[in-house]
Structure 1
Amino acid sequence: MHVRRVGDTGLKVSRLGLGTMTWGRDTDEHEARDQLIAFAEAGGTLVDTAAGYADGASEELIGSLVGDVVARDEIVIATKAGVSRRTGSRVTDASRGHLLSSLDASLKRLGVDHVDLWQVHTWVDDAPIEETLSALDTAVASGRASYVGVSNYSGWQTAQAATWQRAVPGRAWLASTQVEYSLLNRSIDDEVLPAARALGLGVFAWSPLGRGVLTGKYRSGTPADSRAATSHFSGFVSAYLGPRSQRIVEAVVRAADGLGWSPLEVALTWVRDRPGVTAPIVGARTAQQLRGALGVEELALPEEIARALDDVSGFPAGNGEE
């Protein structure tokens, strides 16, 4: 698998990342093992997780496989801190104390002495940005993280954080931002991508398949074995089942039919090769699904099809999902 530099840093990752949000909850140890084996055999290196994924069970599962399925120095472990659901509802905390204690807990669950990339999972209004970013400085200075980044920040938030880190020598520069991006959600086009490009940040795209909708699996209903059929993901997926999304999915299906590809291959290749994107993060339910995604390595969308998908998926000014 081809590798790409993460922004202006020396960190290099595979141009597809392995997402593990469901590991330890919907994805058991055996399925996770098969996925990691398939990913590593394809040359994948970037494994993305978070302290809040399955209340830490995702990190624990990765930790149980590192050194067994794949050597530690053959993967790039990226994790996040600042979001949890231990109380039963989503709680955010980007204070310095919480972030650093969360990092220590992540290292313990992962069974490593450092992570390659540590990210603030989301912007939190009641945490001073200077305090949040000071935790990143400490993580790098102490050797607990090699690189640091942010996740789910808006354009101005990304620019503010990255500029603050560059303002004084000795601060840890931001390496990356992780944001949702797909043909169904292009909200980062106008501000986040330009900010990342101007300030030298890599961009990791989560949910590049539009929460699974761009695979075409929901065209005629909700499959019983799909994420939309589960109580914890039904609302997450249904947000992308409106008329606008349907038009885009049909365009992807037509493109796939013309190329002899799957809709997944069309949608994922489009995101992977968008200017500024370092790597899409692919979260699969099964190893078989993951192998389908890994098959895009040798594919490239013809320019005319990429332009047509750009046109059908772009938002008119002030217009959103219908």
Structure 2
Amino acid sequence: MEHRQLGRSGLRVSRLALGTMTWGLDTDADEAAHQLTTFHEAGGTLVDTADVYQDGHSEQILGDLLTTHIPRNDIILATKAVARRTPGPFGGGASRGALLTALDGSLRRLRVDHIDLWQLHAWDPTVPLDETLAALDTAVTTGKVRYAGISNYSGWQLATAATHQNAHPTRTPLISTQVEYSLLERGIEREVTPAAHHHGLGILAWAPLGRGVLTGKYRNATPPDSRGATHHYASYVEHHRTERAARIVHAVLTAADGLGTTPAHVALAWVRDRPGVTAPVVGARTTTQLKTALATEDLTLPPAIRAALDDISAPQRSYPERNPTQP
């Protein structure tokens, strides 16, 4: 698998990341082991989780596998903090106390002495930003974290945080932002992508298959064995089942038929090669789904097909992103 630089850092990661949001829920420990082994054998390195996934069970499964199946140093381990985990003053949020408590919990569940990429899962408007970012500095200077990133930040939030960290050489620079990005969700192109480019952050794209809708399996009905048929993910999938999405899915199916490949391959290759994207994060429920995603490595979309997909999925823009007074 090809590897890419993550932002302006020296960290190189596989251009496809393995997401673990379903681990401990729809994906049990045995299936997770198969997924991690398959990903590792394909040359994948970046594995993403979060302290809030299944109340920490996802991290725990991954930690167990890093002691029994895959050498720790073969994996670039990414996790997140900020989301509410437990009641109490340190059970969630982006205060210094909450973040450092969350970090210690992640290290314990993952059974490691450091996190390679620690990400702020969301913006917390109730905490001064300098306090939140100082916790990242503490995590790095104590050796518990190697690199820092953010997730689900808007463009102005990204720019504010990155500017603060870049203002002094002793602060930890942000190297990545993890956001939803697919042919069905291109909102980041208005503000987040330009801000990430300007400040040197690589983009990690979650839900690159449009929460499964871009595979085409939801065109006519909800398959009983799909994520959309479960009570815990039904609304997650339904979010992208719109008339606009149906038109885009039809275009993806047409492109896949013309290329002799699958809709998933087309949708994933499109995201992978978008400007600013370092890696899509694929959260497969099964090893079979993961193998399908890994096969995308051999596909590069022809310019004409890419242009057609760009056109049909283009996000609506207006002032000031598209300023008529500018050349």
Give the TM-score band, short-chain normalised. Answer: over 0.9
Query: How much has 1:190 moved relative to structure 2?
Result: 1.5
Specify the code of the residue in structure 2 equivalent to 1:208: P
Specify the code of the residue in structure 2 equivalent to 1:294: L
Partner residue of 2:228?
Answer: 228
Query: How much has 1:169 moved relative to structure 2?
Result: 1.9
Partner residue of 1:12?
Answer: 12
CA distance in structure 2 between the aligned counterparts of 1:228 and 1:92, rounded to whole angstroms: 28
CA distance in structure 2 between the aligned counterparts of 1:47 and 1:99, rounded to whole angstroms: 21
CA distance in structure 1 between the aligned counterparts of 2:260 and 2:85, rounded to whole angstroms: 42
CA distance in structure 1 between the aligned counterparts of 2:289 and 2:84, rounded to whole angstroms: 28
CA distance in structure 1 between the aligned counterparts of 2:84 and 2:43, rounded to whole angstroms: 31
CA distance in structure 1 between the aligned counterparts of 2:237 and 2:120, rounded to whole angstroms: 24
Say whether the 8 Å CA contact 1:92–1:124 is kept in structure 2: no
Q: Residue 176 of structure 1: SS of its match in structure 2? A: strand
Q: Residue 305 of structure 2: SS of its match in structure 1? A: helix
Q: Residue 66 of structure 1: SS of its match in structure 2? A: helix
CA distance in structure 2 between the aligned counterparts of 1:235 and 1:300, rounded to whole angstroms: 32
Say whether the 8 Å CA contact 1:118–1:147 is kept in structure 2: yes
What are the superposed Cα offsets for residues 177-224 of structure 1, whole Å, 9 maximum, x if unpaired?
100000000010011111111111111000000000000010110011
Q: Residue 101 of structure 2: SS of its match in structure 1? A: helix
Q: Residue 294 of structure 2: SS of its match in structure 1? A: helix
Alignment of 1:70-219 (within 5 A): 70-84=70-84, 86=86, 93-219=93-219
Alignment of 1:2-41 (within 5 A): 2-41=2-41
Q: Residue 203 of structure 2: SS of its match in structure 1? A: strand
1:272 has 2:250 as partner:
no
Partner residue of 2:57?
Answer: 57
What are the superposed Cα offsets for residues 24-45 of structure 1, whole Å, 9 maximum, x if unpaired?
1111011000100110010000
Q: Residue 79 of structure 2: SS of its match in structure 1? A: strand
Partner residue of 1:257?
Answer: 257
Say whether the 8 Å CA contact 1:51–1:84 is kept in structure 2: no
What are the superposed Cα offsets for residues 77-104 of structure 1, whole Å, 9 maximum, x if unpaired?
00000113556xxx95111110110000
CA distance in structure 2 between the aligned counterparts of 1:165 and 1:115, rounded to whole angstroms: 19
Say whether the 8 Å CA contact 1:208–1:271 is kept in structure 2: yes
Say whether the 8 Å CA contact 2:81–2:103 is kept in structure 1: yes
Specify the code of the residue in structure 2 equivalent to 1:304: A
Percent identity, please. 59
CA distance in structure 2 between the aligned counterparts of 1:310 and 1:39, rounded to whole angstroms: 29
Partner residue of 1:238?
Answer: 238
TM value normalised by structure 1? 0.96
Say whether the 8 Å CA contact 2:96–2:131 is kept in structure 1: yes
Specify the code of the residue in structure 1 equivalent to 2:158: T
Say whether the 8 Å CA contact 2:137–2:172 is kept in structure 1: yes
Unaligned runs of 5+ in 2: 319-327
CA distance in structure 2 between the aligned counterparts of 1:23 and 1:274, rounded to whole angstroms: 28
Say whether the 8 Å CA contact 2:92–2:99 is kept in structure 1: no
Q: Quickly say closer, same or farther: Cα 1:199–1:115, change in 2 above 3 A.
A: same
Q: Residue 224 of structure 1: SS of its match in structure 2? A: coil
Query: How much has 1:127 moved relative to structure 2?
Result: 1.3
Query: How much has 1:162 moved relative to structure 2?
Result: 0.4
Query: How much has 1:317 moved relative to structure 2?
Result: 3.4
CA distance in structure 2 between the aligned counterparts of 1:21 and 1:66, rounded to whole angstroms: 17
CA distance in structure 2 between the aligned counterparts of 1:204 and 1:294, rounded to whole angstroms: 16
Partner residue of 2:311?
Answer: 311
Say whether the 8 Å CA contact 2:86–2:92 is kept in structure 1: no
CA distance in structure 1 between the aligned counterparts of 2:78 and 2:155, rounded to whole angstroms: 22
CA distance in structure 2 between the aligned counterparts of 1:250 and 1:85, rounded to whole angstroms: 40
What are the superposed Cα offsets for residues 139-197 of structure 1, whole Å, 9 maximum, x if unpaired?
10000000001000000000000000001120000011100000000010011111111
TM value normalised by structure 2? 0.95
Q: Residue 23 of structure 1: SS of its match in structure 2? A: coil
**Aligned pair count?**
315
Query: How much has 1:67 moved relative to structure 2?
Result: 3.1
